[in-house]
Amino acid sequence: QVQLIESGGGLVQAGGSLRLSCTASGRPFRTYGMGWFRQAPGKEREFVASIGWSGISTLYTDSVKGRFTISRGYAENTVYLQMNGLKPEDTAVYYCAVALINAAPPPQRSAYDYWGQGTQVTVSS
């Protein structure tokens, strides 16, 4: 079992920045990959980014490349999502997730085994 707690969401103006955090517990942090997803009202939950256990391999959806950065803090057992240049279309509930594989997990939701409760990000225009 892995427990996940997200934080760092909030309200920000377009062009601003936020950093989301997801702290994991229950299983050694270096034994799984992690990802971020988001879900806007009335839309499907979509992949944002993922990172392997070593922190070297990463994946991003095209719409956030160059603006978002995923990273891992091993001392804190935490995965981060640094979001810069935020746009109104980034508004969503953001979820972190764990996949019990070593590499950066793929974009498919079915690849993930554990999910957090989500944190709201709202970008005003």
What pLDDT, on the 0 to 100 scale, is given for residue 25? 95
pLDDT band at 111 (very low <50, low <70, confident <90, very high): very high
DSSP class of residue 89 equals: G
pLDDT tens digits, 33-67: 999 999 999 999 999 999 999 999 999 999 999 99
Q: CA-CA distance, 108 to 125, in Å (whole number)?
A: 30
Six-digit token string for 66: 């160059």
Element (H, E) at 124: strand 119-124
Q: Residue 80: pLDDT band by 50, 70, 90 thresholds? A: very high
pLDDT given at position 14: 98
Instruction: Give CA–CA dist 57/107, Å, rounded.
Output: 14
The band of 107, judged by pLDDT with boundaries at 50, 70 and 90, is: very high
C-alpha dist (Å) from residue 113 to 14, 35, 66, 104, 110? 33, 11, 28, 14, 8
Residue 77 — very low, low, confident or very high, per pLDDT cuts 50/70/90?
A: very high
Q: Which of 63, 57, 66 is nearest to 106 (CA)?
A: 57
- pLDDT, the chain, mean: 96
pLDDT of 115: 98
H helices present in 51-110, as ranges: none
